[in-house]
Amino acid sequence: MKILLTLQYNGTNFIGWQKQINGRSIQGELEKSLSFLLDDNIKIYGSGRTDAKVHAIGQTAHFETNSFKINNFLKKGKLIKTSFINALNANLPEDIYITNATLVNNNFHARYDVKEKVYEYHLQIGKNPLNNNLCGKINSKLCMPLMKEASKYLVGEHDFSSFCSSKTATANHIRTIKYIKIYSIKNNEIIFEISGNGFLYNMVRIIVGSLVNVGLKKIQPIDIKNILDKKNRIFAGKTMQPEGLYLKKVIY
Amino acid sequence: MKILLTLQYNGTNFIGWQKQINGRSIQGELEKSLSFLLDDNIKIYGSGRTDAKVHAIGQTAHFETNSFKINNFLKKGKLIKTSFINALNANLPEDIYITNATLVNNNFHARYDVKEKVYEYHLQIGKNPLNNNLCGKINSKLCMPLMKEASKYLVGEHDFSSFCSSKTATANHIRTIKYIKIYSIKNNEIIFEISGNGFLYNMVRIIVGSLVNVGLKKIQPIDIKNILDKKNRIFAGKTMQPEGLYLKKVIY
């Protein structure tokens, strides 16, 4: 029996998604709570990793179990969602929250079946003590029309070698960005919403760092196209702070 | 020379506004930073205290100084705002942020001259790991039209004895509420905005706790009027958690 979870988390006090020998990981907390709840040795597979301090509004992950305890949450072969979700949330710490759970086919995989992912980057202009740990921060104002113009060069299928960490493990750097929305909300906060068929390591944070350079008028919108063409990380902007990144949605 | 500061703070890691022997207070941090910056023994007077974990978007406070160091921030007898604000913010911890500073008359007092105060209460329906420490929380849905109807009984001049802590020090419990706005924002968060000429101890949190009882249909809107008439704290709702309270604005 395979179950797909949708979950939120506040990344502030985690070393990231992936379980490691030391430190508190989201994967580790989920496996601990599920294993306890189902009296089984549960292994969980996320749609992808998130780094330390990165948040999620709609991360997804699947697990398999044959434990007889899962029967407590089944009725005529269907999952009694609220009862399972409530039981799991009651076992999880305050900074993780399950929002959905569904039975999936045995051949479903939370990572390999992803069709599209949506991220948000929250950027605070100036200091705001109320959103420490919840936003990236920058001290100067940014030109919104220039950033919007620049973002258009990134939409579509491109080789994003310039926009991924040198630590990126995958060889194929071609990805398709579906859209980039950039808008302001109250209190001088700017949201970058980026949707694509897949993202390389640090890709969203480097894209935002590069658009910020456009917003600061350090480079021009057309330079984003030039940076893409170089296919070399050193030409793009800096990797923005992890606190501002939110995995918003995973679409299958 | 008297200066009025406007400031924001995240109350999470404070024991409250007021300086105490043990623990980190907003007053204490401000006095420490100002005293260091101006090489003087600065005493600061807030518009009022806030409790532990309560936040501020627009708290105000004044201080007096005759230190020669203030001359670094004066030009032709006027305060060079940005330079003073930047110097002070550089000395303050991450969870306090000065947004304004103005010279005021010698007879001005940040507390006694208040004409109006505006508070917000942020209430999260259900769990949301992304706003832990930034919202009060409740598990059930609330009926918005009933709460709005109930709030009308509180607007105007009333004796708020039922809606203040039994620890309230002042004898006169008559206050005027100018308006109460109640609206939802994204992610199942409800904002209560309350403006008045003054507030008794825990008054906003008890008002929200009572309106929540209406929203839960435990009591009816008209009961808010009945509770007012009783002039006794035991009839009102519970004091909501401090994490949801924001001092939004102080008007002189």
Is the pLDDT score of A187 beyond 90? no
Given an 8 Å threshold on Cβ–Cβ distance, is A130 in contact with B96?
A: no
What is the model's pLDDT at position A39?
Answer: 96
Assess contact for B243 and B136: CB atoms under 8 A: yes
Neighbours of B69 (CB within 10 A): 11
State how far residue A125 is from chain B, nearest Cα, in angstroms. Answer: 13
A92 touches chain B (CB under 8 A): no
Is the torsion defined by CA of A85, A89, A90, A92 positive or negative?
positive
User: Mean pLDDT across the stretch A157-176?
Assistant: 94
What's CA B32's distance to the chain center, in Å? Answer: 22
State how far residue B186 is from chain A, nearest Cα, in angstroms. Answer: 12
Contacts of B193 in chain A (CB under 8 A): none
What is the model's pLDDT at position A168?
Answer: 85
Nearest CA in chain B to A133: B130
Work out how many CB contacts closer than 8 A connect A with B: 40
The mean pLDDT of chain B is 96
Going through A105-216 in order, the beta strands assigned E by DSSP cover: 116-125, 136-138, 156-159, 174-185, 189-196
What is the model's pLDDT at position B127?
Answer: 85
Annotated active-site residue in A40, A51, A113, A223: A51
Beta-bridged to residue A58, according to DSSP, are: none
A10 touches chain B (CB under 8 A): yes
What is the model's pLDDT at position A74?
Answer: 94
Contacts of A134 in chain B (CB under 8 A): 130
For residue A164 the two structure tokens come to 């991924």
What is the model's pLDDT at position B187?
Answer: 77
Domains, chain B, ranges and CATH?
2-104 (3.30.70.580), 116-251 (3.30.70.660)
What is the model's pLDDT at position A220?
Answer: 98
d(CA A241, CA A137): 8
Is the pLDDT score of B231 beyond 90? yes
Neighbours of A52 (CB within 10 A): 17
Q: Which amino acid is at B147?
A: M
Is B51 assigned a catalytic role? Answer: yes
Residue A251 backbone class (left: φ over 0; alpha: ψ -120 to 50; beta: rest) = beta
B71 touches chain A (CB under 8 A): no
State how far residue B152 is from chain A, nearest Cα, in angstroms. Answer: 28
d(CA A225, CA A205): 17
Contacts of B10 in chain A (CB under 8 A): 129-130, 132
Given an 8 Å threshold on Cβ–Cβ distance, is B129 in contact with A89?
A: no
For residue B246 the two structure tokens come to 């924001």
A129 touches chain B (CB under 8 A): yes
What is the model's pLDDT at position A106?
Answer: 95
Contacts of A96 in chain B (CB under 8 A): 129
**SS3 of residue A201 by DSSP:** coil
Block residue for tokens 């929305």: A181
Nearest CA in chain A to B135: A130
A9 touches chain B (CB under 8 A): yes
Nearest CA in chain A to B133: A130
Confidence of residue B186 (pLDDT cuts 50, 70, 90): confident
User: Mean pLDDT across the stretch B115-135?
Assistant: 94
User: Mean pLDDT across the stretch B1-25?
Assistant: 96
Angle at which helix A203-215 crosses helix A144-151, to 10 degrees, equals 130
User: Mean pLDDT across the stretch B156-166?
Assistant: 96
Question: Strand A245-251 to strand A116-125: parallel, antiparallel, or no bridges (unpaired)?
Answer: antiparallel
B14 touches chain A (CB under 8 A): no
d(CA A53, CA A174): 27
Given an 8 Å threshold on Cβ–Cβ distance, is B9 in contact with A94?
A: no
What tens digit of pLDDT does each residue of B73-96 get?
A: 999 989 999 999 999 999 999 999
d(CA B90, CA B92): 6
State how far residue B96 is from chain A, nearest Cα, in angstroms. Answer: 6
User: Mean pLDDT across the stretch B109-115?
Assistant: 97
* B-interface mutation test, from A12, A124, A130, most B Cβ less than 10 A away: A130
Give the percent of chain B with pLDDT over 70.
100
Q: Which of B212, B187, B176, B199 is nearest to B246 (CA)?
A: B199
Assess contact for B1 and B78: CB atoms under 8 A: no
d(CA B136, CA A33): 25
What tens digit of pLDDT does each residue of B126-147 get?
A: 889 999 899 999 999 999 999 9
Of A96, A127, A129, which is closest to B129 when you measure between CB atoms? A96
Given an 8 Å threshold on Cβ–Cβ distance, is A94 in contact with B129?
A: yes
A8 touches chain B (CB under 8 A): yes
Q: Is the ipTM of this complex over 0.90?
A: no
d(CA B65, CA B2): 7
Q: Which amino acid is at B23?
A: G
Residue B115's Cβ-count burial label (10 Å; 0-12, 13-18, 19+) is exposed
A96 touches chain B (CB under 8 A): yes
- Residues in Cβ contact with A36 at an 8 Å cutoff, skipping those fewer than 6 apart: A91
End-to-end CA distance of chain B: 19
Question: Strand B156-159 to strand B136-138: parallel, antiparallel, or no bridges (unpaired)?
Answer: unpaired
Given an 8 Å threshold on Cβ–Cβ distance, is A127 in contact with B89?
A: yes
What tens digit of pLDDT does each residue of A71-117 get?
A: 999 999 899 999 999 999 999 999 999 999 999 999 999 999 999 99
Is the torsion defined by CA of B1, B4, B8, B9 positive or negative?
positive
d(CA A68, CA A85): 17
Of A57, A97, A132, which is closest to B10 when you measure between CB atoms? A132
Angle at which helix B203-215 crosses helix B221-230, to 10 degrees, equals 140
State how far residue B132 is from chain A, nearest Cα, in angstroms. Answer: 8
